[in-house]
Each structure stands twice: as C-alpha cells, then as structure tokens.
A = this chain, B = another copy of it.
C-alpha cells in the first residue's frame, strides 16, 4: 500500500457518520465516564457486585441502541451478550469481543486522583487524556466499537453487518469461565470473523493490526517452613527461612544470559524468518526509544537478541508479586512461617502451558527442603496464538484504518495475551481481527492509567470505517 493512494471505496458517502461521531464526542465521553466510575475489579471477590453493575450498565446501553441483550451468569462474573441483525440478510456476521473488568488499583497511593473518578486531563504537551482505571484496558477501547455502532444506527438506521457482541468480566483474572460459556453458546456466537479491541497502536500516529499474541502461564507458589512465625533472635541460624528458599528459587529461574532455566521450557519456540527479522530491524526499537520513556537505559533480556525479539518473539518469565514476613513500617525480627510469589510466563510459537506448568512445578519442588513444603496455585494458562494474515478482512481493515489515519498501518505481533482469541479458534473455528488504539504509555495495569482522547475519538471513527468495509 501507498500512503498517497485515494480513500478506499468503503468510505465513500460515509461522511455523515463521521460528522455525527465528531459532534457527539461530549456525549460519548459522558457515557464512558459513567462506565469507568464502576470499580469492576474482577480478580478480587470483594468487587463481585461492582462487576455485575458494570455488566448491567452495558446491557442498558446496548438495549437503548436496539440490541437484543442477555446477561449470562457464570460461576464467576457474568458475560454480556447482544446481537442486532443487518437489514441486508446477506451481510457478513461479525462477533465483537471486549471485557468490562479492570485490573486492581494498588498501590493506590501512587494515583494522583481516585482511579474510579474519571477525568479529562491536559498533559504538558497539550495532549488530552482520559484518566481512570480501565480508561484504556478495556472500557475505553470497547466503547470505541459501541459508539461506532451507535453513530451508524443513528445516521443509517441500521448496521452494515450482523453484529454479535460478547463482553466478558474475567479477562484480567484469567477468563476462567469463558471456555464453558463459548462451548454452551457456540451456535449464537457463530460468525464470519471475530473483532477484538484490546490491543495497541504502533505509535501515537500509526494504527496497528495485531496478528500474533503470546500465551500465558500464571502460577503462584507458597513456601511453608516452620509451623508458626519465629523470633529470629531465638531461632535465627537454625530455622529455615521461607523468604530465603523463595529468593533462591526466583534467582534460579534465569541464567546469567537471561535464559529461562525451567527444563524443556524452550520446546516449541522457533526463530522468526530472516525476512521478519529484517523487517523488525528496520523498526529500530532500541533501549533509548523503548526503555528510556520508562526510566531505564538497559535491557534485562536475553543476551544476543534484538529488543523487539525479547518483547515479541521470545518467551519470558516475570515475578509479578512477592510477599513474606513483616512488611509494615519499622522493624520486626521475625522468621516468617511462609512466603509466596506470583510468577508468570509469556509463551510463543508452539509452547504449551500444560507441560511447562508440570516442569516448572517439578523445578520448584526440587529446591524445597524436605521438611518444608510448597503449594502451587494456578492462575490460568493459554497457548500462544497466530492470526492468519491471508484473510481478505485483514486487507480491508488495513485499508479502512489507512483512510482514517492517513498512514500505512503496522501489522505486528503483541507481547500480551488475550485468552479469548485462542478459545474462539479452538471452540468455534473462528479467526480474529485484533484492532486497538492503546499506546505503550497508557499505564495499563499501573497507577494513573490513561487513554488518549485521540485514541478514543479516532478509534470510534476507525471502527465505523472498518464496519463499513467489512459489512
């Protein structure tokens, strides 16, 4: 594609929809703010009521647009489903996926404002951003699709495709109840292709379609030694300290070159082709432009790998949390009875989370003294996934995005994991088109999460164009 090519045919006569989107931005923002005010943290059972509230908010909004909706209860948080047929019976069927749940907000003291009191801030560079937990991941993103549908319905009185919507509430906690839901609702979810809005742009000016995702294995380990907390002055020097045991295990996960030491971990990892590597080299992702903005200067990844390999094509292991003993203010001379860590692996290629889980657990168990114990808690696993790059919908979506952004979109892999994409393929044989408008500096999963107003606004316009192109 050529940046100077004329707008794609799909957008011809489409201006009134885009105009209405532009004129409705205030109302669109007010709806998003109402949605963001609901603290739908899925991983903490204390927020179950709020997760229901977020699901019901979506049901109401989709009903008001004319969708047929259903709140499907699960063993966890409910799933929102909706559908609306196109007036053209021969139109394509598109299944849109998003998630209404959000990440926890701790450490709360690092937020500059209440994470559930959304606001529009203007940064020093003049950029306007929507600040709240979930602004980008995924409430802001999923509303770009909903608002695009609303504008098309208002202007055109109908949609160019049969639309099915599936918004889950457990994406941030492993999507544990999604597979059963998909299995039980397979008929209602049948579509030509799935659309997912939970990924990012290449940069603030360049949209992206994501065609590969890393898998995820998430394990928690709890090391227990003595049957009670001990006074280090009485037992120190003799009693096993579970923090020491845990630290040694963590230190053993990587070798000096950053390679992961779990046996057989790299089975199924393949090398990118020479042409892919060559393309990546030209993107010039380096320590300065990738790590500089987050306050680092040096990659901690595998030696001998380009930075883009480290974050896209190589599997990784990170400890996401650790706790043991006294963590309050001041000092306490305790040898704790237990210490625990949450550890996740990003998987690529043909890596399979099940054998890796077994090997990881054996690897940990072998380092636990025989009068101590380890408990393993699984927080889910998903295989890596590759979206086919030869579907015509991909080409049409790329053209529609180019019409909106006036620059050739990037077709990229993503380091993140979106379990539903693999599940759609496995259970429904359904391919997915991953289009999102997040940016690397959105602080998703961190304090002060934001979503650029430009991402929200042009994201809505982009979806309207993509829907028209695919319809």
Interface residues, chain A, with chain B CB atoms under 8 Å away: 42-45, 103-104, 106-107, 110, 172-174, 200, 214, 216, 218, 220, 225-241, 243-244, 246-248, 250-254, 290-291, 294-302, 307, 310-311, 314-336, 339, 341-342, 344, 346, 369-372, 379-380, 414-417, 440, 443-448
Contacts and interface: CB of A to CB of B under 8 A. Distances in A.
Contacts of A310: 237-238
A370 B218 CA distance: 30
A63 to B, nearest CB: 31
Contact of A296 (B225, B291, B318): B225
A218 B331 contact: yes
A296 B371 contact: yes
A90 to B, nearest CB: 39
Given A232-B344, A251-B252, A323-B327, 12 more contacts: A218-B333, A227-B295, A231-B416, A232-B346, A237-B346, A240-B300, A243-B319, A247-B251, A297-B370, A321-B325, A322-B325, A325-B342
A433 to B, nearest CB: 19
Given A231-B416, A234-B440, A311-B234, A103 B300 contact: no
Contacts of A334: 320-321, 445-446
Nearest to A310: B237
Contacts of A414: 233
Nearest to A415: B233
A332 B295 contact: no
Contacts of A252: 251
Contacts of A333: 216, 218, 318, 320, 344, 417, 445
Given A296-B225, A321-B326, A332 B445 contact: yes
B446 A231 contact: yes
A110 B334 CA distance: 15
A294 B238 CA distance: 12
A214 to B, nearest CB: 7
Contact of A233 (B43, B314, B416, B443): B416
Given A233-B416, A371-B296, A238 B311 contact: yes
15 contacts: A107-B229, A216-B333, A220-B331, A225-B295, A232-B320, A235-B311, A237-B310, A239-B294, A241-B319, A243-B341, A295-B371, A298-B370, A320-B326, A320-B334, A333-B344
A335 B311 CA distance: 13
A460 to B, nearest CB: 24
A298 B240 contact: yes
Nearest to A309: B237
Nearest to A307: B238
Contact of A236 (B232, B329, B415): B415
